[in-house]
Structure 1
Amino acid sequence: MLMKLWFVLFLLVAACGRAVPDNARIVIAGDSIMAWNRSQGGAVAQQLEPRLGEQVGDVSLAFARVSGGQGPLNIANQLANVRADWIVLNGGANDLGRACGCSGCLPALRRLVSENGTRGDIPELVTQLRSRGAKVLWVDYYTAPRFAGTRCDTLYQTFQNRLQRMALADAGVVVLDLDTVFDPDDLRLFDRDRVHPSLAGSRKIAQEIARVIRPRL
């Protein structure tokens, strides 16, 4: 009972600051990588606004999943009825972690995105967002220090390859690979849990998102 109460309180705190202003042209969705540091004013969306000079909506939430999850803990639900020029989102780690950790994950991965990138819950969500007129920036995960050099590396590389194939089919979809800018040996980019971004890490993610979006606004 105490654990359940703690979880509810955590979600209430984590949800503070989630909103989509009426004129927001960019909306951030996804899991804790996007939502981390919100209570300190340093989540990805909060650090992206001054870099683009635009209001940025933020519906991301820790523990959110692509497949399953109730209410805002489902990433598609976060974006229900949201319309924007750009939807920036991530997801999948909580799905894989819940289903299989980093071993024997091909069925769970296939449910997220097929080998050729055309089927699965992620391509379906991206297609829905594109049908509303949004460009989509999918932010792929970095390698966290806790998982560097483990069997998780291979799984997430396979995940990234499938996402890249998805993006190749549509010029309005971009995949941003955070592994290109996050060094797992640079602990300044990571929180004390060695998984989530520090304030500097969230800033780095915001910088990379701005680099992709700014020329296309």
Structure 2
Amino acid sequence: MIKSILSRAGLMAVLMLGLTLSACTDRTPKGGGDILVIGDSVMAWNGSNDQAIPDAMATALDRDVISKAVPGAQFSNDSTLLSAVGFDIQDQYPGGRWNWIIVNGGANDLGLNDCKCGACTPVVDTLIGADAASGEVPAFLSRLRSSGAQVMWMGYYAGNGKGSFEGCRDDLVLLERRIARFAAQTPGVTFLDSELVIDRNDPSLFASDNTHPSPKASALIGAYLAKGISARSARSQ
């Protein structure tokens, strides 16, 4: 799991990138589609070159993958304006019927909160409680599941120790342990940890900011998620 996010110095640049991406033509099919991806910059990174995680998934699966992920997005953003342009991951969900919905997020909720990746357990508790059943994340994933979609949460990879906000690691580990427990006890919800395919000691897997995935890493993660989807789709047939 990751455990680094955006630096303060680069935040405005990422927000502007997110606004630019959200202003592009929305190719989301009305009424739904096959695979929907929602999340933050880890999902969206390398997208300008069609080398983001969702692009790799589409290639591996030979299926239609629509990404609504926005750099800088929080799982829960209180700003109505920012939520409207994709900076609230829950509001990225366009509704409709999807076969699969892939989700990631939570890092920006910690790094951009008043706790600033310090004592952020109360933020984690709001997202998902110690019971791994209450909070915004379980409520949202249950909502997605009730639409008929299979739901997958992608866990972050571990940072290489050089990125910013390394202090987020302990709270993100706590967050994702709880989400994994929720998935284990909820039919139709899966947790896959991208940390299993990313070697934090391999510099070629990190972008120049030492936080986001390189194209090579996005390809590895996309293939890993695609394999998970294929395995679970086969069992459901």
Relative to the length of structure 2, the TM-score reads 0.83
Match of 2:138 among 123, 139, 148: 123
1:157 aligns with 2:189: no
Change (3 A) 1:159 1:8: closer
Change (3 A) 1:90 1:118: same
CA contact (8 A) 2:110 2:168 kept: no
Deviations 1:137-162 (A, max 9, x none): 000111111359x5433222211211
**Comparing 66-75 with 193-202, which one deviates more in the overlay?**
66-75
Superposed displacement of residue 7, structure 1: 6.5
Deviations 1:109-142 (A, max 9, x none): 1111111210111111101101100111000111
1:136 aligns with 2:151: yes
Matches within 5 A, 1:56-135: 56-68=65-77, 69=79, 70-71=83-84, 72-99=86-113, 100-135=115-150
Larger RCO (alpha carbons 8 Å, 6+ apart): 2
Letter in 1 for 2:27: A
In the alignment, structure 1 segments of 5+ residues that lack a partner are none
Residue 194 of structure 1 corresponds to which residue in structure 2?
210
Letter in 2 for 1:189: L
Distance 1:9 1:64 in 2: 12
1:10 aligns with 2:26: no
Cα RMSD (Å): 2.4
Match of 1:20 among 22, 28, 38: 28
Aligned to 1:202, what secondary structure does the other structure show?
A: helix
Distance 1:97 1:84 in 2: 31
Q: How many residues align?
A: 215
Relative to the length of structure 1, the TM-score reads 0.90
1:213 aligns with 2:229: yes
Aligned to 2:37, what secondary structure does the other structure show?
A: strand
CA contact (8 A) 1:18 1:58 kept: no
Aligned to 1:84, what secondary structure does the other structure show?
A: strand
Match of 2:184 among 159, 162, 168: 168
Residue 53 of structure 1 corresponds to which residue in structure 2?
62
Deviations 1:158-190 (A, max 9, x none): 112111111122121111111222121111111
